[in-house]
């Protein structure tokens, strides 16, 4: 806070997240990230740069060895997470498996199980995962001999969001901690949709209208990061994305009133990120307006069915379903200031409703 105005702080680092030693121990509350996907062709060149042996094994048509070498590079990043996270902190990893023919061999490369194993070995608790369903209607989606059993393979139409926690549940003990957690509450109807284990973003606005196409940047939707940040952290927490790409996690943290740090190997993304930052206040505030509107529509239907709710939000006076939503506060993003060295300061106003 400065002059009573809430602020959050964000740091964008162009560098290699295999070395996160600059990030102090136990300084991060939540990691939201999506690494390059091993054995998906668009990332071969990058993995080849991280370890030239990858390219050699691919040329030698040894898929299993290439898969292991690629994951060995990712493990150098995962290896820092335990140290930088606070006790009770969360890790959310968006990852897809790969199917690929190498020589005569067509097979599944199970990235999600490989990463799960790695984090379990470090001591993380694995918690129920979310399937992000990415339906494709491409006519070529069926592989193999389609109508004739038994030679066809099912199509991969989902990705994973793997969820891990460092140890036991995070305690909220002091009155300010408890108040901040209550202020960070979700609406009941949001909780019901967001804590489902299948997400499908059909019909939900997904991006900032990225100038680089999602296919080229492999960006995940803004909504994906926004939900995870709101579900697994509280306001003013610090969120890390060690594979920041086009900056989506940082934007979600800004929109949700959290601090963030993002690390990205390719300096070429700087311009894309800067361009999107200019549009972020509008997007973040539209998302808040959407949440409010969604809540009003939901409550009208809910109260028509069940009668008036006994609970009202203390700040805004509108009805809510549970007592856990009575202290929920929404903040409007006012301004993003660029400081030196990839640092950004974001200021907010508390949302005021007319009347």
Q: Which residues bind ligand SAM (CB under 6 A)?
A: 16-18, 34-36, 46, 217-220, 243, 245-246, 248, 263-266
* DSSP letter assigned to residue 221: P
The candidate with the shortest Cα–Cα distance to 167, out of 123, 128, 210, 135, is: 123
Q: CB of residue 76 vs ligand SAM: minimum separation in angstroms?
A: 8
241 touches 24 (CB < 8 A): no
Nearer to ligand SAM, 256 or 328 (CB): 256
Nearer to ligand SAM, 46 or 129 (CB): 46
Q: CB of residue 94 vs ligand SAM: minimum separation in angstroms?
A: 7
The candidate with the shortest Cα–Cα distance to 241, out of 209, 213, 268, 219, is: 219
Nearer to ligand SAM, 218 or 284 (CB): 218
Q: CB of residue 280 vs ligand SAM: minimum separation in angstroms?
A: 14
| Rounded Cα distance, 237 and 219, in Å | 23
Nearer to ligand SAM, 112 or 315 (CB): 112
- Indicate the residue whose CB is closest to ligand SAM: 245
Nearer to ligand SAM, 273 or 336 (CB): 273
The candidate with the shortest Cα–Cα distance to 131, out of 162, 108, 167, is: 162
Q: CB of residue 215 vs ligand SAM: minimum separation in angstroms?
A: 11
Nearer to ligand SAM, 164 or 222 (CB): 222
On the CB side of 93, CA atoms within 13 Å amount to: 28
Q: CB of residue 111 vs ligand SAM: minimum separation in angstroms?
A: 12
Q: CB of residue 289 vs ligand SAM: minimum separation in angstroms?
A: 23
Nearer to ligand SAM, 99 or 125 (CB): 99
Handedness of CA 171, 175, 178, 183 (dihedral sign): negative
Q: CB of residue 271 vs ligand SAM: minimum separation in angstroms?
A: 14
The candidate with the shortest Cα–Cα distance to 8, out of 337, 240, 352, is: 337
3-state class (DSSP) for residue 184? coil
Tokens 């493990």 sit on residue: 75
| Rounded Cα distance, 231 and 186, in Å | 8
| Rounded Cα distance, 93 and 34, in Å | 6
Q: CB of residue 225 vs ligand SAM: minimum separation in angstroms?
A: 7
Question: Going by DSSP bridges, is the β-strand pair 238-241/259-264 parallel, antiparallel, or unpaired?
Answer: parallel
Nearer to ligand SAM, 34 or 260 (CB): 34
Nearer to ligand SAM, 132 or 302 (CB): 132
Q: CB of residue 161 vs ligand SAM: minimum separation in angstroms?
A: 12
| Rounded Cα distance, 223 and 286, in Å | 12
| Rounded Cα distance, 102 and 107, in Å | 8
Handedness of CA 125, 247, 334, 313 (dihedral sign): negative
Distance, C-alpha 309 to centroid of its chain: 33
């Amino acid at each position: 806070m400065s002059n009573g105005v809430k602020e959050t702080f964000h740091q964008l680092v162009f560098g290699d997240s295999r070395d996160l030693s600059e990030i102090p121990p136990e300084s991060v509350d939540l990691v939201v990230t999506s690494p390059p996907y091993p054995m998906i062709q668009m990332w071969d060149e990058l993995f080849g740069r991280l370890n030239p042996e990858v390219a050699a094994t691919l040329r030698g048509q040894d898929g299993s060895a290439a898969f292991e070498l690629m994951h060995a590079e990712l493990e150098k990043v995962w290896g820092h997470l335990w140290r930088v996270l606070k006790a009770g902190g969360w890790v959310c990893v968006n990852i897809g498996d790969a199917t690929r023919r190498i020589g005569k061999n067509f097979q599944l490369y199970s990235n999600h199980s490989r990463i799960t194993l790695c984090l379990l070995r470090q001591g993380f608790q694995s918690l129920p995962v979310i399937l992000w369903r990415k339906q494709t209607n491409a006519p070529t989606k069926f592989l193999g001999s389609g109508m004739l059993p038994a030679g066809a393979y099912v199509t991969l139409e989902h990705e994973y969001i793997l969820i891990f926690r460092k140890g036991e549940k995070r305690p909220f003990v002091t009155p300010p901690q408890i108040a901040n957690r209550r202020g960070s509450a979700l609406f009941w109807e949001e909780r019901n949709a967001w804590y489902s284990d299948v997400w499908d973003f059909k019909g939900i606005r997904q991006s900032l209208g990225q100038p680089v196409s999602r296919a080229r940047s492999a960006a995940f939707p803004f909504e994906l990061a926004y939900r995870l940040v709101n579900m697994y952290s509280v306001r003013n927490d610090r969120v890390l994305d060690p594979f920041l790409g086009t900056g989506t996690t940082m934007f979600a943290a800004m929109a949700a009133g959290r601090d963030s740090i993002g690390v990205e190997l390719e300096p070429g993304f700087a311009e894309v990120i800067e361009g999107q930052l200019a549009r972020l206040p509008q997007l973040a505030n539209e998302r808040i307006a959407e949440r409010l509107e969604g809540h009003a529509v939901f409550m009208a239907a809910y109260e028509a069915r069940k009668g008036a709710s006994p609970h009202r939000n203390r700040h805004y006076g509108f009805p809510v379903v549970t007592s856990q939503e009575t202290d929920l506060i929404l903040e409007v993003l006012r301004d993003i200031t660029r400081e030196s060295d990839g640092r950004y300061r974001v200021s907010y106003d508390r949302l005021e409703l007319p009347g």
